[in-house]
Chains A and B, each alone.
Chain A
Amino acid sequence: MDFQAPDFAPANSEIFLLIMICVVMLADLFLGEKSRKLPFFLSLLALAGSALLTFMNFSEAPVLTFSGMFIDDILSDTLKLMIYPTVALVLIYSRSYLGARGLIRGEFFSLALFATLGMMVMVSASHLITLYLGLELLSLSLYAMVSLQRDSVIATEAATKFFVLGSLASGFLLYGMSMLYGATGSLHLVEMAGVIRSGVPDRAVLVVGLVFIVAGLSFKLSAVPFHMWAPDVYQGAPTAVTLFIGSAPKLAAFGFIMRLLVEGLGDMVADWQGMLVLLAVASMAVGNIAAIAQTNIKRMLAYSTISHMGFVLLGFVAAGVDGYSASMFYVSAYVLMTLGAFGVIMLLSREGFEADAISDFKGLNQRNPWLALIMMFVMLSMAGIPPMIGFYAKLSVLQAALAAGYLWVVVAAVMLSLIGAFYYLRIIKFMYFDESESVHPIKFASEVRLLISMNGLAVILLGMFPQMLMNFSLSAVLSGQ
């Protein structure tokens, strides 16, 4: 028996993060109520350390390890380097919100870090099992985070729905994976792709498996018609958790699709294109139309997320390097906008008060012009108005889709984003055109003020100079080809 230790180096950021999670849990266990600061700073330290390790290990050429189950390439490293700051920003934005609600327990931080670890594994997976493990680690942590507010009925309900529907989706995925395995005889994505390319005897099994995979993916992405959970979960979860669900996991989901559909099933592109185009158009339609009727801003943003995911899928429909990199650009832009939007919502909330009704934004321009301006940037960006980043993201996706010949899908997409513009404008209307009802001053720590300002400015400045982000997306996607 000749045991050869695997090469740990490509996974050292994951290993470091896992160790840090244990440290956070232990620290919380022993310090208990005494210090709430330590887990917070330890978590940030963990993220910073992982980021440093990933950065130092940034590999131009793909490195496989753990018997080819784990891959370290530009795609995974770029996505990870986007995930860390996103999670860190979520933690910083959430801190005072959680503190005011007595939720700032060690569990929040360890669960958030576990979820981060899950995302990292997902984007680095080169094997169906690793892919699934990463996804489940992420999902289970998210279920627990939604129910963190134990005594809230609405949060518990949301968590139950999320859990039941999420498990169903995982089941779908597993079932689809099993069929892929049955048809190709391999769980390795690269080997699987090789078998498919050389011609599989039973294509029907493959296609049925693909249907299940796409259905499961759509659940996770909250694409229509598998979107039912998203509005309830977004509304029910504490805003900090909603922000978490709405931001970094979408980056991981992008990585997931890249690995599974593009790398693993790249030769079946014609099969999944047809499925994704329906999902994309349906998501844009339902998301944009249903959002109009919402009075709760978190619920509205849930529908807006659904429509944004439609755009992300549209990039995949376009296929090719242009489409995938446009998709990735869109996801990063989306994450930036979501962080800004929920960040502002959390800043407006205070002890015993959730600023989650759209009318809570009334007269924000009088109460705090700077915050209103940031929110306006974010809303215009989501509506796809230049010079905000959201426009260039839409532009690249639409360009890719039109290049692939989907003229009518593109026309439908722009018309639906016109409908979408209405409800984003409505927020601006409340902030700028209405008189304020609340007299409570908006207080927040200076580091949060600095970060939310940078976040808002990034939405407009990265829009004016989108080249850098586009290049990152391009090089990441090229490595995955």
Chain B
Amino acid sequence: MLFGFPLISLIIWLPIIFGLAVLILGDRDLKITRWLSLSGAVVGFLVALPLLSGFDTTISSMQFVEHISWFERLNVFYHLGVDGISMPLIILNCFTTPLVIIAGWEVIQRRVSQYMGAFLIMSGIVNGVFASLDAVLFYTFWEASLIPMFIIIGIWGGPNRVYAAIKFFLYTLMGSLLMLVALIYLYQTSDGSFSIEDYHRLPLPMTAQILIFLAFLIAFAVKVPMWPVHTWLPDAHVEAPTGGSVILAAILLKLGGYGFLRFSLPIAPDASHELATLMIVLSLIAVVYIGLVALMQQDMKKLIAYSSVSHMGFVTLGFFLFNSYGLEGAMVQMISHGFISGAMFLCVGVLYDRLHSRQIADYGGVVNKMPIFAAFFMLFAMANAGLPGTSGFVGEFMVIMGAIEVNFWYAFFAALTLILGASYTLWMYKRVIFGAVANAKVENLSDIGSREFLILAILAVAVLWLGLYPSPLTEVMHVSIDNLLEHVSRSKL
């Protein structure tokens, strides 16, 4: 523990406390509400920095561990810690929250305090998911993260928001309930322990491993989302307000990916090997088929949602190649997707705030009116297509390298995304941005203001930095990933 502070507790509970304060403050003075929310988010990011600077990249064990008895009756502990896998995701989350608060600054006029409060509380909860080392604690944060998102989609969403919100909630709940059964089963077999690290060491017979793997698979596949349980995502994205979409794409999808790394692979390594082909095929279907689906979308948000599914297919593909290129590539892809998809949704949000339409057909020639915006959008679109020099390239390239080591055809199908991704992203970009000014509404567009510029610029720096110099990120996770690989290669039968 650095400086004797329980740092992880701080990054979980500080945003939640700020969120509650914002809720209590209410909508009496919007200015104070907004500034308080922003300071909460920024403080949340700042306390994550000592975590990063104090992090020892040479060891794979859990760091900053907090271990307090929570309820003895079931042997549940308030057990927190981070390693090289959870650390980058926590930083990503703390980094995204302030951007989302700023993005909703003036756009949200209705029930501001509830909007801001929900995002702050969400931020703390998600940190809790990434840092939990106790299964019940993990499950508590995991499920609790549904509540703010449900509210966010349902209150500030589009016309079909109720359907999308309930679908989002029930879909995810279905997955997690089976995970709960698996966790209780593990509790029995491990003689009454809910510690995730104990589960990693627990020997399990093959049948049990397969059942546990499948129970976890449903939970995490829904969250990632993998084909064919991805259908909630386009609905949720289309209906959610911009901030909601950003958090959903940048953070919540990563919960699923993180789950694979923390639960499925180390707890059921033999089952993971056994079912690897299935997982790879599902991932490739997501990459190729969903890429084609994205090509046909008329709605910008829907297009980016499908492109998210396709990119997350790369993540799950990387997990099940069982080599360090694949796993590290998948991790880089998760972080990079957090920046890029967040930025893409923010760009669509910028347009939506002005024209109140997400249809590609309603736009055309935006570059004539919004040149600065068009430049940013160009950068993010290129990153989404995986252009070298941007973060999108690094992850995809590493995963493809990993795939070639295993099987040429895996790599072949995965590499199709370079064509598909470029097609759907750039084609959309071309139709929206280039050409002559399409209609009177576009004629009246004004370029981005300083607030929007600030957010997009920060994200642009992040995307370029990760694309040109990814080694700080890979350094943080390298030892943990190696350790995970080594662990997975040992049989637990």
Chain B associates with chain A: yes
Question: How many Å lie between the Cα of A434 and that of B468 in the bound state?
Answer: 48
> Does B155 have its Cβ within 8 Å of any Cβ on chain A?
yes
Contact A467 B70 (CB under 8 A): yes
Within 8 A of B (CB), among A6-61: none
CB-based A-B contact count at 8 angstroms: 90
Contact A425 B73 (CB under 8 A): no
Contact A433 B154 (CB under 8 A): yes
Residue numbers in A under 8 Å from B178 (CB-CB):
411, 414
Residue numbers in A under 8 Å from B139 (CB-CB):
386
Within 8 A of B (CB), among A409-444: 410-411, 414-415, 417-418, 421-422, 425-426, 428-429, 432-433
Contact B147 A385 (CB under 8 A): yes
Min C-beta distance of A30 to chain B, whole Å: 48
Contact B180 A398 (CB under 8 A): yes
> Does A268 have its Cβ within 8 Å of any Cβ on chain B?
no
Residue numbers in A under 8 Å from B140 (CB-CB):
386-387, 391
Min C-beta distance of B144 to chain A, whole Å: 6
From A385, A429, A466, contact of B166 by CB (8 A): A429
Provided the pairs A391-B143, A429-B162, A466-B71 are in contact, do residues A411 and B181 lie with their beta carbons within 8 angstroms? Answer: yes
Majority SS at the chain B contact face: helix
Residue numbers in A under 8 Å from B26 (CB-CB):
369
> Does B34 have its Cβ within 8 Å of any Cβ on chain A?
no
Interface size on B, residues (CB 8 A): 35
Contact A385 B144 (CB under 8 A): yes
Stretch at the interface among B43-51, B169-177, B312-320, B346-354: B169-177
> Does A281 have its Cβ within 8 Å of any Cβ on chain B?
no
Question: How many Å lie between the Cα of A380 and that of B136 in the bound state?
Answer: 17
What's the interface size class on A, roughly? Answer: 35 or more
> Does A474 have its Cβ within 8 Å of any Cβ on chain B?
yes
Q: Nearest B residue to A465 by beta-carbon distance?
A: B71
Q: Nearest B residue to A419 by beta-carbon distance?
A: B170
> Does A396 have its Cβ within 8 Å of any Cβ on chain B?
yes
Contact B184 A432 (CB under 8 A): no
> Does B74 have its Cβ within 8 Å of any Cβ on chain A?
yes
Contact B154 A429 (CB under 8 A): yes
Provided the pairs A385-B147, A410-B184, A474-B73 are in contact, do residues A432 and B154 lie with their beta carbons within 8 angstroms? Answer: yes
> Does B277 have its Cβ within 8 Å of any Cβ on chain A?
no
Contact B166 A402 (CB under 8 A): no
> Does B72 have its Cβ within 8 Å of any Cβ on chain A?
yes
Residue numbers in B under 8 Å from A474 (CB-CB):
73
Give 6 new A-B contacts, CB below 8 A, not counting A399-B188, A410-B184, A467-B73.
A385-B143, A395-B74, A399-B184, A418-B173, A422-B170, A465-B71
Subset of 28 A-B contacts with CB under 8 Å: A369-B26, A369-B114, A385-B173, A386-B140, A386-B144, A391-B140, A392-B71, A395-B180, A396-B74, A398-B180, A398-B184, A399-B74, A402-B181, A402-B185, A411-B181, A414-B178, A414-B180, A415-B177, A418-B173, A418-B177, A421-B173, A422-B166, A425-B150, A425-B169, A426-B166, A429-B154, A432-B151, A467-B73
| Closest 8 pairs (CB-CB, A-B) | A386-B140, A467-B71, A414-B177, A470-B73, A433-B154, A386-B143, A402-B184, A399-B184
